[in-house]
Amino acid sequence: ETVTLSFSRAPPSKNCFLALEYCKHLKEVTGTETVISRVTFLNSLYFAGSTTLFNALLMKCLEREVMALCRYTARRNTPPCFVALVPQEEEVDEQKVQIAPPGFHVIFLPYADDKRNIDFTAKVPASREQVDKMKEIIQKLRFKYRTDSFENPVLQQHFRNLEALALDMMEPEQAEDLTSENYWWV
């Protein structure tokens, strides 16, 4: 997901830079290996020289392998949250086509009470009877699927419309959709 940072609605004091931290410490900060992020670019329409600042910050963060820790307010009347701006270098393929743009990943950091360790010490093994019942259920759900067993109702209707047009028929027959459920009997 790509977002554009602009300060048109929130004054610059609402989004502030806090610190630089080495990128290798991201797992310690987030508490997980998988994170949801957005790639961000700076909107230079509101501040003169912001593109130069953005590029300089990106280059220095990439060079030093650090991420920026910031306070981020998405819009007015929303509480601020802490984010990590992790730099991303531009990626191009052999034909010099851009695969990934340069920018920062905005990674939303959890609060202290969001991080917790869950101990899964008690393992509950399935009994032989439960395993057999699940095998039975799975066998009932399996069937041989053949694509020619089901007609595409949209294509069938299209063919009937062409046939009606070619034969100067007033109204073609409606194709029956055998793939949808019949709700009339419920």
Q: Residues 108-155: pLDDT tens digits? A: 888 777 777 777 777 888 999 999 999 999 988 887 777 777 788 888
For residues 1 and 110, what is the distance between their CA atoms, to the nearest angstrom?
19
* pTM passes above 0.85: no
Residue 103 phi, psi dihedral angles, 5° rounding: 165, -165
Per-residue pLDDT of the chain (186 residues; tens, 9 = 90+): 334 444 444 444 455 556 655 566 566 555 554 455 555 555 556 666 677 877 888 888 888 888 888 888 777 788 888 888 888 888 888 888 888 788 888 888 887 777 777 777 778 889 999 999 999 999 888 877 777 777 888 888 898 888 888 888 888 878 777 666 665 555
For residues 1 and 12, what is the distance between their CA atoms, to the nearest angstrom?
23
Instruction: Say how many residues make up the chain.
Output: 186
Beta strand residue intervals within 50-128, DSSP E: 66-72, 81-88, 91-92, 98-100, 103-108
Q: Token pair of 94, please?
A: 């052999």
Please report the pLDDT score of residue 29 as a whole number.
56
Nearest to 7, CA basis, from 82, 77, 75: 75
Question: Across all residues in the chain, what is the average pLDDT?
Answer: 74
Residue 171 phi, psi dihedral angles, 5° rounding: -140, 130
11 to 46, 58, 75, 82, 107: CA distances (angstroms): 11, 22, 10, 17, 21
Residue 16 carries which side chain, given as an amino acid letter?
A: C
User: Domains (ranges, CATH) in the chain?
Assistant: 2-112 (2.40.290.10), 128-166 (no CATH)
CB-based contact 109:81 (threshold 8 Å)? yes
